[in-house]
Chain A
């Protein structure tokens, strides 16, 4: 077995706020193998973006990492302890180098007053030993590769001159031009129409094959996950509640929250099936429930409600590495 490209171990991340310390990520561990697409799902506020930003040390100034949190990036010749990279100079290896990130709102990742082309060149000059002429050539090639018509002309334009779908492509082109080992895609298609989303997903799949990179794909759309991810991690209120292959998680979900998400979705092959939302709202991270963090909304606590309210469920892993944090799973093991 090849070792993972990146390993996250016991990641706990809090934010200092006026109302006190807010726990945004709680004891999260996962690996991403080379060439693997890991889908990260969960509702708004569950901590997906904050987790992703931790991989690049991009979280806000008020963030505090717990001492035993560890993120290890394995490149060909070295192991990088990401959380120890305190100086911006040291962080250059990861930011825009070994790891690139694309965001939901592509406007945010382009400077408005600099042409798309100049921004692409600048990135390449920082992260490679190309000459400006080579960088220009590679950038135009990448724009063409992501399907932007007349790339040499578009290269000189500014982000506001691009349509939404084109900006998303340009952002992907810029993120991939440095040939990162890991691409973090934070809701890259959420703001797009389904037709354009389909184009972008196909593009990303082709590029994974071509560059053999790993992707951390964040979305709350389980359909997008089903069509792109190899493995899936489900997040709730800062905790990973389930991880497994895409087939395990979508076809045989083990956690009541995952089942809840699936039951909320409108299904095209059964228009009359009722939509069953997960009851209630996600609690404030200032006021994390005791025991299982999901117990305030779980409909499956049945006979073990007391246990759910007071004891934190540990992870149960079956023989095929399908992991779940739920007392029901341990009950089954014992019976």
Chain B
């Protein structure tokens, strides 16, 4: 593995077998299928796609919290290299320190009966990372200050906080064990624009100061565009396009990425562009369409798209796309 990559998924599939039989077979949710991504050390890697596209599942697999059915995920920092599929025992415990999740919904994630101090301290205590209460307190205070929470805040219970403050508590809790890798799943989706801006700025400054690598999951391409240096676009369990952010916007190649971009409502009242219409909704991952999975909604789909799976091809340096016709459509 190249020494600049912190974590990489190769040909990764995550399948969830369902209970019961349908036509004599056990249905399987193919939440992720044949995924290839490489996340560089110290980068802010964005993952975007409609709800149900498999973003959360991929993020969880990278934290070893979803089953790896096929392929591999390899994590490698300056100290250790782990193959996540076979990780267990003390090494798994060690990986739990190195990787963390910032929850999608801070309201649900925070226990109402714990003070903010205890919520932030919990990972330290569970993992036994500190040896005394003084040490724990010092660490909690240091992280809280980074997330702009003061001593007064630490004594209170989470219900007394606004959405933005609760999200900062979740961030502090994720940072406290000193991870190298953080998955932030829809961390700003429930927030007002102003609070969203504040949280995004905080995540960016943490990343710049500490060099932590982020996998930032969102269904909002404009938020991703602003925050991330590299973007992967996911549709129905597969990555359909990935590129450095500026390239993804200037050389958009996949019809799905184009549709996502054109669906963002413009802030200019005189911008009359009509969203490139995507008919219908994302199909079920139990029976994904054959060939290109996007063919049921793609405005450019042709016969070949319904039978032949498009290859994952390099368009230019670090820009990959899975579409038979991306050159012609560009």
Contacts and interface: CB of A to CB of B under 8 A. Distances in A.
B198 interface: yes
Contact of B264 (A223, A271, A282): A223
Interface residues of A, number: 43
B327 interface: no
Contacts of B261: 268
Contact of A275 (B164, B226, B265, B274): B226
A105 B225 CA distance: 28
A277 B263 contact: no
A313 B219 CA distance: 40
A30 B164 CA distance: 31
B193 A261 contact: yes
A43 B281 contact: no
A321 interface: no
Interface in A24-63: 43-44
Contacts of A201: 265, 275
Question: Interface SS of chain B: helix, strand, loop or mixed?
Answer: helix
B193 A220 contact: yes
Nearest to B228: A271
A266 to B, nearest CB: 4
Contacts of A247: 269-270
Contacts of A165: 281
A276 interface: yes
A280 to B, nearest CB: 9
Nearest to A249: B269
A69 B206 CA distance: 49
Question: Interface SS of chain A: helix, strand, loop or mixed?
Answer: helix
A163 B221 CA distance: 22
A276 B201 CA distance: 9
B225 to A, nearest CB: 5
Given A195-B263, A222-B267, A277 B163 contact: no
Interface in B253-308: 259-271, 274-275, 277-278, 281
Contacts of B219: 193-194
B50 A193 contact: yes
A275 B197 contact: yes
B245 A227 contact: no
B195 interface: yes
A83 interface: no
Q: How many interface residues does chain B have, given as a range? A: 35 or more
Contact of B265 (A43, A227, A251): A227
Interface in B201-225: 201, 219-223, 225
A196 interface: yes
Nearest to B227: A266
Given A193-B219, A275-B200, A282-B162, A223 B193 contact: no
Contacts of A250: 267-269
A197 interface: yes
Nearest to A198: B275
A122 B249 CA distance: 49
B94 interface: no
A227 B197 contact: no
A264 interface: yes
A289 interface: no
B222 A277 contact: no
B265 A226 contact: yes
A21 interface: no
B225 A268 contact: yes
A43 B194 contact: yes
Contacts of B57: none
B197 A221 contact: no
A261 B194 contact: yes
A50 to B, nearest CB: 17
A260 interface: yes
A228 B150 CA distance: 42
Nearest to A191: B51
B76 interface: no
Nearest to A246: B269
Most A-side CB within 10 Å, residue of B51, B193, B198, B249: B193
B196 interface: yes
A194 B263 contact: yes
A264 B193 contact: yes
A268 B222 contact: yes
A194 B197 contact: no
A198 B277 contact: yes
B66 to A, nearest CB: 22
Interface in A185-241: 193-199, 201-202, 220-224, 226-227
B194 A44 contact: no
Contacts of A262: 267
B301 to A, nearest CB: 16
Contact of A266 (B198, B226, B278): B226
Contacts of B194: 43, 260-261, 264, 277-278
A199 B225 contact: no
B192 interface: yes
Contact of B259 (A195, A274, A275, A278): A195
Given A44-B163, A197-B263, 16 more contacts: A43-B192, A193-B51, A194-B221, A199-B277, A220-B192, A226-B271, A250-B267, A261-B194, A264-B197, A265-B267, A266-B226, A268-B222, A271-B246, A276-B197, A278-B194, A281-B162
5 contacts: A198-B262, A198-B277, A223-B265, A266-B222, A268-B225
Please provide the 6 A-B residue pairs with the shortest distance between their CB atoms, ordered closest to farther: A198-B275, A223-B265, A275-B197, A266-B226, A264-B197, A277-B197
Interface of A: 43-44, 163-166, 193-199, 201-202, 220-224, 226-227, 246-247, 250-251, 260-268, 271, 274-278, 281-282
Interface of B: 50-51, 162-165, 192-198, 200-201, 219-223, 225-227, 245-246, 249, 259-271, 274-275, 277-278, 281
